[in-house]
Structure 1
Amino acid sequence: MQLIVAFTFMSFVIFPAFTFAQNPILFFSGDLRGEIKPCGCAEEGDMGGLLRRLTYIKQNNSVNRIIYFDLGNNFPVPSQQGDLKIPLIHSALEKMNPEVVLVGPNEWQNGLHWLDSKVPYLLSNQSKKLNFLNLKIINHENHQIIVLGYLSPTLVYQNKNDSPVIFPINQELLTSWRDKIQKNIAQFRILLFRGNEHELNLFEKSSMFDLIVAGSNNNDELNQVLKMEVDTRDIPMIPTKGQGILSGELDVNGKIIPANRENDSGSLSVSWLGRNIEDDPELLESFMSYDDAVKELFFRNLELKKEHLKDSPFIGNQVCAACHPKSMDVWKKSRHANAFATLEKLGKHFDPECLECHVVGLKPWTTPENSSEAIRKFEGKRGFLSMELTPHLVNVQCENCHGPALDHLANSKIKPAMHNPDSVCVECHQGSHSPLFDYKKYWQKIKHGP
């Protein structure tokens, strides 16, 4: 896999050999998608996070003039827990001091009222209904930089009965932008872009920009894609989920020099934010406050979920052990048997985003396709509520893979709901949580019979 290969030489590129110079170093990142901190479940996928990004920016800013551009799309998908992440993301962005932050589709989906006025959000194709930055002029000694930002209307919802809030790329938009650029004569012109290849081609053919950097359209963090292809050349694209930073030095002639030529993405180089970059202590208090808020939310929602306990179809593996002692012996020796303890050590045993893969039935259960009516009656039922209320459902157990066993307990002829439990593995063993997952190899660690 592309990202795993990158680890073989990552130690050489995490901190490019910048030397103090008058030339500014341009940094590009973003696309956090709510991944404020890597879960750390597997070292191979332990990349990114706000704490490491802030450390990296500070350390490089101490020896160079860093000009940081954020491509946005940092918000999570809308949820109660996501609402708690947004102030934390804004707090971190303010400390990173970006010149601009492009408004992204996740910001739009959560609602523009969430956007902090202290953060310099940029949207150059906005209508007069919005009040974000249209452009930004940056002066640095002998350099003058102008930056614009484009968010494709195809990525956001707009009421068709109202006039557009953001405009697509067309000749009218290009003419308007060209006039703005000419009125603000700048040596170097940057476009922060989030859209499709057709739109990108139109911007590239306009020859208005010296550098275009794209927000990530890649959903697979294990196979990082660092470019978008257009007719004439490749356009650098930031790593997905904020796992790395693109950078390049802007020389006196207005040319970009990759900060590290061993690992570049077109005109820019990439530095991965791995475990060897420490968490910035300035953000630790904010993260502790976030964890406290998540814990409070957990207990608040717990009161609403207690009704589910009365008709839960999950019974816990201590009941299973009576008829399946050999399987129970295998389970006790596996890491699944200590899944909850790993969260307790990190203080994350109240965080639903972590709990769902460390307990039984936290999320409403979804029945498999072609299930019988007897199985479908369990649709939407829950299991684990808390350590105090449902201690028999902590850790990864039989019912995580085989489904609710209440009916099987009453009548052994009724088989567990999941006939192909291997399909369940990838619900947790996926992405950066388990980048080396291979069902055949992992099955050998927990192989058991009936």
Structure 2
Amino acid sequence: MRHESGYFATFLSILTILLAGVFGCGPSSEVGMADSSSPQAPEKNRVDVGAAAPMPTGKTASVGSSEVAQTGAEMPLGPQGSGKSSVQPVAMPSEIAMKDDSEEEATEPKFSRRELFEGWDKPQLALFLTGQQHGYIEPCGCTGLDNQKGGLMRRQTFLNQLRNDRGWDVVALDVGNQVRRFGRQPEIKFQTTAEGLKKMGYEAVSFGPDDLRLSVDEVFAAVASEDPDNIKYISSNASLLGFTPKHRIVEAGGKKIGITGVLGAKEQQKISNSEVEMGDPMQELEASWNALKAENCDLYVLLSHASLEESRQYAKAFPGFQIVVTAGGAGEPTLQPEVVEGTNSQMIQVGTKGMYVGVVGLFNDPQNPIRYERVALDARFKDSEEMLRLLASYQKQLETLGLDGLGIRPQPHSSGYSYVGSESCADCHSEAYEVWENSKHSHATDTLVHPPERYEVPRHFDPECLACHVTGWNPELYLPYRSGYLGLETTPNMKSVGCENCHGPGSHHVASQNGEGGFTDEQTALFVDQMKLPLESARDTCLKCHDLDNSPDFHVKGAFEKYWEEIKH
């Protein structure tokens, strides 16, 4: 029998290896989850779904494109908490393999996401963490909403799902920087966002430097509350006219939460506004910490609008903050929080452009009291009707004000030439004009007037949209040139992305070809050369609009060559 058992064990070992090869199972992978080295999961076809793992009690360590945790410090809930987490961090798969698009039956990429908060019971309380919206109240680009992340519409839908469908007590917090520029349009965008956060029931919002570069009167009007003792915008060391509070206490889910914000020293250098009262981060943060500590809260949260390094310094100086939400880091937040060395503080990144939400769950579980999940605001979340109406109201304000009301003044082109419209090119360049006329460029303005998605909200009065959808604008400064597009009725010949967007304004070239202007033969030849766009320079011209925000597909290897075939002439 001993020999038979040995043969049987050998047989089982061989069978296990064979099954691992067939199903992708093994010590380092889970059944149904393709390993990153498996032929079933080519890297180009993997999509991020965010991992539902217990919050690690140690530093995160980078492994390829995901994060795994190393065991480390304890994580009590506060002065009243006594639980020490003994849960071993689990390296949950952050990606699920899609079918290889080279397979014959795969006509389009398909993927499935596992359930959110897998393995979670209902938490006593959940923190809903956002920030760094940078003006993206909705995703921007021409790749379609199914391929984009972020937006207030999806954010409210997700928040409502947690509160209404799951029945969770949720405290929403934001680390700030709702806009990325200054001027009248960003002021309106800040006001719109502030109204959206109010409708979503945010309990505390900190300030970013771009918020504080706006007109203080406009910002204060947006953040002020009917109850002066209930203003939700907080910062320990940056105040609007001395009226905004330094910290705030929120009670939810049977917990008392002490919250404050801080604007980092480097971020303060970006602000030149005498009406913003700013103080030393460490000194002011100490005062807020002492005030919150005296309230004997169950949980302390710091909204740190600062770099990663500065945020770590604040966490080390005030280790009582169990949760530090930071504006530092890259555009995509890490999969797991970082435990700041020498503390129990968990530091959570929010990323940029409002594409992600970090959710922290608090549990009555001494072994695992806090869990975390990063969630991408992708197409699984439908548009909230309330936020869609808010977007429509924002666009209506832009229409009412017009370019003059927004403080936008047409500028002369640096060449000294003027735009004349694509039809002026048609007589001499009929074949090229026909290619353009049958391209998507010739319908670019129409997609703003009658959007293919969120069609209820036209965008053709929005300078940030017009800049890449009409002729004669600077796409990087969102400004029109004097001879460029000003309106559908005013300048109908400048609608759409025309010839001159790539080749430059053609007034002198057209005039010289028509025998006008008294130009010499040398000048006429020069104008012809100036209108030429060498292929090696075309890519840079395209990237002014087809940047990573608007056209991520354009940055894939070989994409330019592919799209050039559709427009070459």
TM-score norm. by structure 1 comes to: 0.81
Measured at CA, do residues 40 and 302 of structure 1 come closer, stay the same or move farther in structure 2, by a change above 3 Å?
closer
Task: Quote the residue 1:264 is aligned against.
Answer: none
Report SS of the residue matched to 2:277: coil
Indicate how the Cα distance of structure 1 residues 94 and 3 shifts in structure 2: closer, same or farther if over 3 A, else same.
farther
Q: CA deviation at 1:399?
A: 0.8
Task: Give the CA deviation at 1:401.
Answer: 0.8
Equivalent of residue 357 in structure 1, options 442, 461, 468: 468
Q: Which residue of 2 aligns with 1:117?
A: 224
Native 8 Å contact 2:403 2:409 kept in 1: no
How far 1:357 sits from its partner (Å)? 0.8
Does structure 1 residue 72 correspond to structure 2 residue 176? yes
CA apart distance, 1:227:
7.5
Larger mean CA deviation between 403-412 and 357-366 belongs to 357-366
Long gaps (5+) in structure 1:
259-267, 367-378
SS at match of 2:347: strand
**Match for residue 201 of structure 1?**
312
Hey, what does 2:448 align to over in structure 1? Answer: 343
Residue in structure 2 matched with residue 6 of structure 1 by the alignment: 48
Conservation of the 8 A alpha-carbon contact between 1:228 and 1:236: yes
- What is the total number of aligned residue pairs between the two structures? 422
Q: Secondary structure at the match of 2:179?
A: coil
Query: What is the CA deviation profile of residues 368-412 of structure 1, one whole-angstrom value per residue up to 9, with x for unaligned ones?
Result: xxxxxxxxxxx9544112222222221112111111111222125
Q: 1:404 to 1:228 in 2, by over 3 A?
A: farther
| TM-aligned CA distance change 1:312 to 1:383, over 3 Å | farther
Higher RCO, 1 or 2 (CA under 8 Å, sep at least 6)? 1
* Alpha-carbon spacing, 1:305–1:199, altered in 2? closer, same or farther (3 Å): closer
**Which residue is 1:400 aligned to?**
501
The structural deviation recorded for 1:330 is 2.0
1:306-345 superposed matches below 5 A: 313-345=418-450
Q: Given the superposition, is the C-alpha separation of residues 252 and 112 from structure 1 closer, same or farther in structure 2, using an over 3 Å criterion? A: farther
The answer as to whether partners of 2:180 and 2:210 remain within 8 angstroms in 1 is: yes
Checking the alignment, whether the CA contact within 8 Å between 1:343 and 1:349 is kept in structure 2 is yes
Partner of 1:151: 263
Given the superposition, is the C-alpha separation of residues 273 and 128 from structure 1 closer, same or farther in structure 2, using an over 3 Å criterion?
closer
Which of 72, 86, 89 is the matching residue for 2:193? 89
The residue aligned with 2:359 is 247
Q: 1:203 to 1:324 in 2, by over 3 A?
A: same
31 and 407 in structure 1: CA distance in 2 versus 1, 3 angstrom threshold: same
Q: Matched residues in 1 for 2:505 and 2:151: separation?
A: 35
In structure 2, stretches of 5+ residues that fail to align are: 1-42, 50-94, 97-110, 226-230, 452-457, 513-523
Aligned pair in 2 of structure 1 residues 444, 230: CA closer, same or farther (>3 Å)? Answer: farther
Query: CA–CA distance in 2 between the matches of 1:292 and 1:201?
Result: 43
Q: Which residue of 2 aligns with 1:232?
A: 341
Partner of 1:54: 156
Aligned to 2:21: none
Q: CA RMSD in A?
A: 3.6
The change in CA–CA distance for 1:282 and 1:163 in structure 2 (over 3 A counts) is closer
Partner of 1:372: none
Q: Does residue 213 in structure 1 map to residue 213 in structure 2?
A: no
Q: Match for residue 32 of structure 1?
A: 133
Q: 2:548 matched to which residue of 1?
A: 431
Q: Please, what TM-score do these two structures have when normalized by structure 2?
A: 0.66
- Structure number with greater Rg is 2
Q: Does the Cα contact within 8 Å between 2:216 and 2:275 map onto a contact in 1?
A: no
Identical-residue share of aligned pairs (%): 27
Greater share of helix: 1
Which stretch has the larger CA shift, 174-183 or 140-149? 174-183
Change (3 A) 1:226 1:356: farther
Q: Deviations 1:215-256 (Å, cap 9, x if unpaired)?
A: 2554x5xx5666897873983200211111100211225865
Aligned partner of 2:102 in structure 1 is none
Which aligned pairs between 1:249-268 and structure 2 lie closer than 5 A? 249-252=361-364, 257-258=370-371, 268=372
Q: CA deviation at 1:137?
A: 2.2
Alignment-mate amino acid for residue 56 of structure 1: F
* 2:304–2:325 CA contact under 8 A, matched in 1: yes
